[in-house]
Amino acid sequence: MKNRPIGIFDSGVGGLTVVKQIFKRLPNEEIVYLGDTARVPYGTKSPETIKKYSIENADFLMKFKVKIIVVACNTASSTSLDALRKKFSIPIVGVIKPGAEKAVQITRNNRVGIIGTYTTVKSKAYEKEIRHFSRDVEAVSKACPLFVPLVEEGWLKEDVTFDIVKKYLKPLMAKKIDTLILGCTHYPLLKPVISRVMGRHVKIVDSASSVADEVHNILMALGKLSEQKKPAHKFFATDTVEHFVRVGEKFLGTKIHRAERANYV
């Protein structure tokens, strides 16, 4: 049971930023990653559609007898956690709570900004979690839909990227936030430019590292931390694997030697 894999899914390649942090924090764990590249993006779709996709993705991961499922996608986490927890009895971890908790811990002026996809922002999932941890924190959110294609195109340092980031973040700067949650899988790759725009005094919370800590704590509490020395990971995509591997390696920061097509879509 201990050495069973951790299942992770995302709407596409972005969730590999979470895998990267899990590799660092939990090097003995075997990962089965699923990117739903055939149906990406989730960020512009309705909660009902995303719930349906999320359950299908989790059903696929369950075939590998995973001991825990990480919903690496912010949009799926903000809409589908309750439905997933109702259907599956293993622990289901989303990215919203760990990011919200960290932001509440580090804000000094109690003003926190959140950026994410349209659906994540509309769901107010981060605001609800923040309120759960503190009633004193004021949260403001902003959808930044152009960030995902910019990152997938690899435009991380271009002038045009700086200008777009500045335009989206201006209203958050006006609110004098001192902490900003990157509420989307893709945004950690834009961290340097986001920091440059917001200024050094604004602390950036990247949910990917907070979620790796949360997974570690859950597995430790359950006595299910793996003892494998060389875990063999598996990567799946619901559309062609070539694109998944090429773009995915940028997110993971290492080579993806083998990826397979998941054929249930």
Instruction: Give catalytic residue positions.
Output: 73, 184
CB of 117 or CB of 161, closer to ligand DGL: 117
Q: Is 35 in the site for ligand DGL (CB under 6 A)?
A: no
Reading the block at residue 262, the tokens are 């998941």
Is there binding between residue 125 and ligand DGL (CB under 6 A)?
no
Beta-strand relationship, 179-183 and 111-116:
parallel
Among 8, 10, 177, 236, binds ligand DGL (CB under 6 A): 10
**Does 54 help bind ligand DGL (rule: CB under 6 A)?**
no
List the x/- string, 191-230, binding to ligand DGL by CB under 6 A. ----------------------------------------
Pick the stretch among 71-79, 132-140, 161-169, 215-223 that binds ligand DGL (CB under 6 A): 71-79
- By CB under 6 A, is residue 185 in contact with ligand DGL? yes
Identify which range of 155-163, 167-175, 181-189, 233-241 contacts ligand DGL by CB under 6 A. 181-189
DSSP codes joined into one string, 188-243: GGGHHHHHHHH-TTSEEEEHHHHHHHHHHHHHHHTT-----SSPPPEEEESS-HHH
Cα 1 to Cα 7: distance, rounded to the nearest angstrom: 14
120 is an interface residue for ligand DGL by CB under 6 A = yes
Residue 176 CA, distance from chain mean position: 25
- Burial (0-12, 13-18, 19+ Cβ within 10 Å), 48: exposed
Phi, psi angles (nearest 5°) of residue 239: -125, -170
**E strand segments, 144-196:** 179-183
Pick the closer one to ligand DGL by CB: 5 or 12: 12
Q: Which residue is nearest to ligand DGL (CB)?
A: 43
Using CB under 6 A as the binding rule, whether residue 43 contacts ligand DGL is answered as yes
Which residue do the tokens 């979470």 mark?
18
Binding site for ligand DGL (CB under 6 A): 10-12, 14, 40-43, 73-75, 116-117, 120, 148, 184-186
